[in-house]
Amino acid sequence: MASAVVAQRAQEPAEQAGAQAPEAVIDGFHLVLEALKLNGIDTIYALPGIPITDLTRMAQGEGLRVISFRHEQHAGNAAAAAGFLTRKPGICLTVSAPGFLNGLTALANATTNCFPMILISGSSEREVVDLQQGDYEEMDQLAIAKPLCKAAYRVLHAQDIGIGVARAVRSALSGRPGGVYLDLPAKLFAQTMDAEAGRRSLVKVVDPAPAQRPALEAVQRALDVLRSAKRPLVILGKGAAYAQADADIRALIEKTGMPYLPMSMAKGLLPDNHAQSAAAARSYVLQEADVVLLVGARLNWLLSHGKGKTWGGTPKQFVQIDISPTEMDSNVAIGAPLVGDVASCVQALLEGVDAKWAPPPAEWLRAIAERRDKNLAKMAATLAANPVPMNFHSALGVVRNIVRERPDIYLVNEGANTLDFARSIVDMYQPRKRLDVGTWGIMGIGMGFAVAAAVTTGKPVIAVEGDSAFGFSGMEIETICRYELPVCVVVFNNNGVYRGTDKNLGGGKDVAPTVFVKGARYDKMIEAFGGVGVHATTPAELEQGIRQALASGRPTLINAVIDENAGTESGRITSLNPAAAKK
Per-residue model confidence (pLDDT) at position 14:
39
Q: 27 and 54 in contact (C-beta within 8 Å)? A: no
Q: Residue 10 belongs to what H/E stretch?
A: none
| CATH H-level, domain 26-201: superfamily | Thiamin diphosphate (ThDP)-binding fold, Pyr/PP domains (3.40.50.970)
Strand order in the sheet with 291-295: 260-262, 232-236, 291-295, 317-322, 336-339
Stretch(es) of the chain classified as CATH 3.40.50.970: 26-201, 385-582
Per-residue model confidence (pLDDT) at position 6:
43
Per-residue model confidence (pLDDT) at position 19:
47
> Residue 19: CA atoms inside 13 Å, Cβ hemisphere, count?
0
Regions of the chain short of the pLDDT cut 50: 1-19
Q: 385 and 408 in contact (C-beta within 8 Å)? A: no
DSSP state of 496: B
Strand order in the sheet with 65-68: 65-68, 43-46, 90-94, 117-123, 179-185, 151-154
Stretch(es) of the chain classified as CATH 3.40.50.1220: 216-362
The CATH T-level fold of domain 385-582 is Rossmann fold (3.40.50)
Per-residue model confidence (pLDDT) at position 68:
98
- The pLDDT mean for the chain works out to 94
Which of the four CATH numbers 3.20.20.10, 3.40.50.1220, 3.30.420.10, 3.90.1150.10 does domain 216-362 have?
3.40.50.1220
Q: Whole-model pTM? A: 0.94
Distance of CA 531 to the CA centre of its chain: 25
Shortest CA distance to 80 belongs to which of 88, 90, 70?
90
